[in-house]
Amino acid sequence: MPPRWTIFCAMIDNFGDIGVSWRLARQLVGEKGIRVDLWVDDWAGALQFLQAQTPGAPLPASAKHLTVAGVDVHHWPQNWPDDDSVNTQIAESQCVVETFGCELPDAVKRSMSRRAEPLVWINLEYLSAEDWVRGCHGLPSPQNLSPLIRKYFFFPGFEPATGGLLRESGLLMQHQAWQAHGVPGRQQLLFDLGLASLALPELLVSVFSYCSASMVSWLEALADGTETVLCLVPEGKASVSMAAYLGVENPVVGSVHHRGVLTVAVIPFRSQDDYDQLLSLCDFNIVRGEDSFVRAQWAAKPFMWHIYPQDDGVHVGKLEAFAVRYLEGLDPKTAGAWARFARGWNLGEDCAEMWHYLRPQLPDLHQHTQEWQKKLAVMPDLATNLVNFETFTKLSVSP
């Protein structure tokens, strides 16, 4: 029997939580031979996300359990049943992963406490480049269910002393292949997006950001520039943020808007793999949150990170911590231009002038991001680290 893992995912907002959980589950199944049960609380949201991952195969809206890409996806109901075979089945997993600190149902914990075999329980945390992550990764998270159950913090990160980053085994070769196609590859992308009538621009950009007060100043700078720019904007917060500038209430998928030398095309939310291809083929990507931010780094194209905003402002410190690592070794002029643009955007400032400083540095930034990607790729990926962590930890727990 293949080992069985259970992953719990609470969808707070957007598709970040399910995006990471799904990516991990898919890799554990596809590359590690592990049988994975993924429990998701927002079932409608999960179905919407999963449908985007499998566009050719309509998912039954009424099902509460689906098998997609070999992953068993289940609805995590608000009122979790107290005592049934499901709890026993979960408790029999070799490893239980709670993503982003979501709290496991009490009935599951009770069943886990009755286990006679060791079980590793992982709290898969948020990604941060801050120094403290090194010291907290892998620390036990004491609980008193049973001496056979060990709970640990597992932190993704940019250094070997952390849990690393999610990266599928063929990903970097796939990026090379996409990028080797050059102009025909980009033409095919526009064709696939239903935008074949558009000419290839001098600068191809993707925008997957949150709503931003900086958006209009940046779009104006692009529209008034000297080169043709095509912004591909997945439907959602970024397209909504452009609505007033484009003069429409809600820019719909398929709509194309021209302003000066700028063209904005609203594209559908596609599969994670298709999104990787988009990142690979664009000259500049605005990404956000956690997963798209990591994917932009694997695509190794110039990018800007719209970090998930937090009320207490801690996100600014997280951005600075990443900038320190990422910009190391880069020409100060390019590094300064990137840091000012990223900070300005995240603070909602007027970004027109910052863009004028950043734009000429994109070739330098491109080369630097390729080197950065190679540096990151030397580290084992997060799924591999997690599997090794689970194996070694279990060995240290005696039944």
Compare residues 291 and 390 and give the one whose CB is closer to ligand TRH.
Answer: 291
* Cα dihedral 236, 62, 25, 319 in deg (nearest 10): 20
CA atoms within 13 A on the CB side of 101: 6
DSSP 14: T
Of 11-19, 114-122, 173-181, 314-322, the segment contacting ligand TRH by CB under 6 A is 11-19
Is residue 17 a contact point for ligand TRH (CB under 6 A)?
Answer: yes
Phi, psi of 120 (to 5 degrees): -100, 130
Examine the residue annotation and report whether 17 is marked as an active-site residue of this protein. yes
The token pair that represents 74 in the structure block: 């289940």
Q: Considering only CA atoms, which of 268, 243, 278 is closest in space to residue 257?
A: 243
| Number of chain positions touching ligand TRH (CB under 6 A) | 22
Is residue 202 a contact point for ligand TRH (CB under 6 A)?
Answer: no
Compare residues 210 and 245 and give the one whose CB is closer to ligand TRH.
Answer: 210
Is residue 16 a contact point for ligand TRH (CB under 6 A)?
Answer: yes
Of the candidates 234, 251, 302, 344, which one interacts with ligand TRH according to CB under 6 A? 234
- For residue 272, the minimal CB distance to ligand TRH (Å) is 4
Binding mask 278-317 for ligand TRH (x = CB under 6 A): ----------xxxxx---------------x---------
Is residue 269 a contact point for ligand TRH (CB under 6 A)?
Answer: yes
The token pair that represents 327 in the structure block: 């910009």
Pairing of strands 256-259, 262-267: antiparallel
Beta carbons of 331 and 366 less than 8 angstroms apart: no
Of 6-14, 85-93, 135-143, 255-263, the segment contacting ligand TRH by CB under 6 A is 6-14
- For residue 361, the minimal CB distance to ligand TRH (Å) is 24
Position of minimal CB gap to ligand TRH = 16
The secondary element (H helix, E strand) that includes residue 6 is: strand 4-9
- For residue 206, the minimal CB distance to ligand TRH (Å) is 8
Phi, psi of 105 (to 5 degrees): -60, 145
Is residue 343 a contact point for ligand TRH (CB under 6 A)?
Answer: no
Of the candidates 5, 15, 152, 298, which one interacts with ligand TRH according to CB under 6 A? 15
Q: Residue type for 303, please?
A: F
Of the candidates 2, 13, 64, 260, which one interacts with ligand TRH according to CB under 6 A? 13
Is residue 153 a contact point for ligand TRH (CB under 6 A)?
Answer: no
- For residue 270, the minimal CB distance to ligand TRH (Å) is 4
- For residue 92, the minimal CB distance to ligand TRH (Å) is 29
* Residue 297 DSSP SS3: helix
Q: Considering only CA atoms, which of 375, 288, 304, 318 is closest in space to residue 131?
A: 318
Is residue 390 a contact point for ligand TRH (CB under 6 A)?
Answer: no
Q: Find all residues with CB under 8 Å of 301, minimum gap 6, and list them.
A: 279, 280, 282, 283, 284, 285, 366, 369
Examine the residue annotation and report whether 320 is marked as an active-site residue of this protein. no
Q: Find all residues with CB under 8 Å of 353, minimum gap 6, and list them.
A: none
Q: Considering only CA atoms, which of 46, 49, 57 is closest in space to residue 269?
A: 49
- For residue 371, the minimal CB distance to ligand TRH (Å) is 23
Task: Please state, in angstroms and as integers, the Cα–Cα distance from residue 304 to each residue in 2, 288, 351, 359, following that order.
Answer: 40, 8, 12, 12
Of 10-18, 67-75, 180-188, 194-202, the segment contacting ligand TRH by CB under 6 A is 10-18
Q: Find all residues with CB under 8 Å of 176, minimum gap 6, and list them.
A: none
- For residue 113, the minimal CB distance to ligand TRH (Å) is 30
Is residue 251 a contact point for ligand TRH (CB under 6 A)?
Answer: no
Active-site option among 220, 276, 290, 390: 290
* Cα dihedral 309, 347, 293, 372 in deg (nearest 10): -140
Using CB under 6 A, list all residues that contact ligand TRH. Answer: 12-17, 19, 52, 126, 208, 234, 269-272, 275, 288-292, 308
Active-site amino acid positions: 17, 290
